[in-house]
Amino acid sequence: MNAAEVFDTLGLEYQRAWSHQPALHGTLAWFAATQPSGSRVLDIGCGTGVPVARTLAKAGMRVTGLDVSPVMVDIATTQVPDATFHKIDIRDFESPPGSWDVICAVFSLLQMTQAEIIQTLGRISTWLRPGGHFFLATVAVDVEQVTLPWMGQEIEVSSFSEENFEAHLGQVGLRVVRRSRPVFTPSYPGAMPEESLHLVCQRP
């Protein structure tokens, strides 16, 4: 199944399983405390809008969320009326250089190829204003298009190790300023603890 079909199927079930990650909420609280009201935020793979878009919109930021799943976009639009949501694949999205203060990609780059991830990181760097921040949450493992069972679906994922992610980010001009490797057990039957990688990067 492609990403749109997977997330159309999961809908609010995804939010119930994943939205209460303490480390994620900690990073969002840091953004809410450090970024001025009115900051322009792009949420890539916004899902249901909770918690990323909702938390940052409540902090007075102007949030735009993108997702490939029309079901997710509809849910997000209902749940976070203070933000704007669009059904579009980030690979097809265009934005002027320096047009965003904060860009978030919370587990949304996993269903691309490694080459597409690298290309997307380069475009994200261009879209950020100098001094702007990019928040990446992902799973840190060097894999290319591996099919895995996940929440009763089959998904195809690609990613990089922490070291390789940091190298690719550095090559596009992004410097890591906060990092963590939180472990979280999602709320669904048979779920196991999962380690993720959270990197907050800044464009100098």
Summarize pLDDT for 160-170 with one digit per residue, the tens: 999 999 999 99
Say what the pTM is: 0.86
Task: Kindly state the average pLDDT of the residues 141-151.
Answer: 73
Place of tokens 């990089």: 160
pLDDT tens readout for residues 22-60: 778 889 999 999 999 999 999 999 999 999 999 999 999
CA distance 110 to 121: 12
Lookup: tokens for 30 = 């840091």
Residues 101 and 35: beta-carbon distance below 8 Å: yes
C-alpha count within 13 angstroms, C-beta hemisphere, residue 27:
28
Task: Kindly state the average pLDDT of the residues 179-193.
Answer: 71
Closest CA to 66 of 155, 16, 139, 3: 3
Q: How many residues make up the chain in this entry? A: 204
DSSP 36: P
pLDDT tens readout for residues 2-19: 565 655 555 556 656 555
Q: How far apart, in Å, are the Cα atoms of 72 and each of 15, 67, 106, 177, 182?
A: 10, 7, 14, 31, 25
